[in-house]
Structure 1
Amino acid sequence: MRVYLPLTLAGLAELHRSGEAGPAPLVAYAVTPALREWYLSGDQEELEYAAMSRAAQASLRLLAVDPEAVRRRVVVAADVPDRAAVADPDRAMDPEALAEVRLTEAVPVAKLASVHVDAPDAESDIAAAAAALGAADLGDDDAQFVVDGAADHELLWYGVQEIDHLL
């Protein structure tokens, strides 16, 4: 199963240094049955994009709680055994958790498929979105507009062998 792990650049550096993302349990995002049901007309590629977008939003949340982190969202795509990714049935119909899974084992670098990172020119918008996240969660429409603006920046694709260059 392809999963998308939300990280920061510091988290990516730690994954690179240690040779794995972990320890388990880890929150990741994937094409779950609930996501398929939500996007009835989506093909596999659209569903994968939706799962990755949710991981990018989770990466933004990681940035919001770490004021020292470089303001660039990071999502790592990995292939894990189906048994290692477990969806929470109690949250299956929560729109915020449609693609959320818990990984029951660490993810070795050898299982990574790609890395997705914001371009450096997105940093100011990502910083503003991370700063506005708390107010958006409390219902502030203006803050939500700023948070939604982060999605205007597509994450760039990198091969796993390019992690050194990214760091």
Structure 2
Amino acid sequence: MRIYVPATWPMLRTLVKTGVLDPIGGTAFALTPGLREAYTSGDDEELEYAALSHAARASLRLLSVEFGLGEDSTPARRVVVAADLDDVTLRPDLDDGAVRITGAVPFEAIAAVHVDTEEAEYAVREAAGAVDAADLGDLDAEFLVGEAEDHDLAWYDPSEVAYLVEG
């Protein structure tokens, strides 16, 4: 199953050093039956994009925590790692597209890495500070999150990740 793991820049650096990605809490997103039912229309490609978008919002939440801990040197870029794994457990109690994986994601299972460009950093930093309020229904905060989500994530081949984080 193709999964989308929310991540951050420091997690990418660790992936380059160790060859594995450790998802926070084992949480990822995928095109699950629940996600398919939540949308009234859309082909598999559009629904996969929805799963990736759920992971991108979760990446904002991770950035919010990092910035809250004073990790201001972390680039304000959403990161989503797409991987293919078989051992996945559905987690509809968390989200329609949420899944749980056990253990780390080996580099060999990674299909692509999606990362914000530098142009998105201001909007992403603002959105990371507002994502919790947006989740609670604050319309001004949702606007800030929407500003970040208006930026498309760039696609990288796994072989390019080392150059990306070193550059």
Pairwise CA distance, 1:23: 7.1
Partner of 2:2: 2
Pairwise CA distance, 1:77: 0.4
- Residue identity matched to 2:124: I
Partner of 2:89: 86
Residues 1-167 of structure 1 correspond to what in structure 2 (within 5 A)? 1-22=1-22, 26-67=26-67, 68=71, 69-81=74-86, 84-89=87-92, 91=93, 97-167=95-165
- Residue identity matched to 1:136: A
1:24/1:103 contact within 8 Å kept: no
Gaps of 5+ in 2: none
Tell me, what secondary structure is at the counterpart of 1:5? strand
2:8/2:59 contact within 8 Å kept: yes
What per-residue deviation string (whole Å, max 9, x for no partner) do you get for residues 16-47 of structure 1? 21111227851000000001111242111001
Among all aligned residue pairs of Structure 1 and Structure 2, give the percentage whose two residues are the same amino acid: 51
Pairwise CA distance, 1:2: 0.3
What per-residue deviation string (whole Å, max 9, x for no partner) do you get for residues 113-136 of structure 1? 000000001000000101112332
What per-residue deviation string (whole Å, max 9, x for no partner) do you get for residues 43-97 of structure 1? 110011000000000000000011122100000100001xx111124x2xx6xx1
1:128/1:146 contact within 8 Å kept: yes
1:24/1:106 contact within 8 Å kept: no
Using the size of structure 1 for normalisation, the TM-score is: 0.90
Root-mean-square deviation (CA, aligned residues, Å) is: 1.6
- Residue identity matched to 1:85: V
Tell me, what secondary structure is at the counterpart of 1:61? helix
2-structure distance, mates of 1:53, 1:157: 14
Q: Which moved more, 1:45-54 or 1:61-70?
A: 61-70
1-structure distance, mates of 2:147, 2:23: 32
Using the size of structure 2 for normalisation, the TM-score is: 0.90
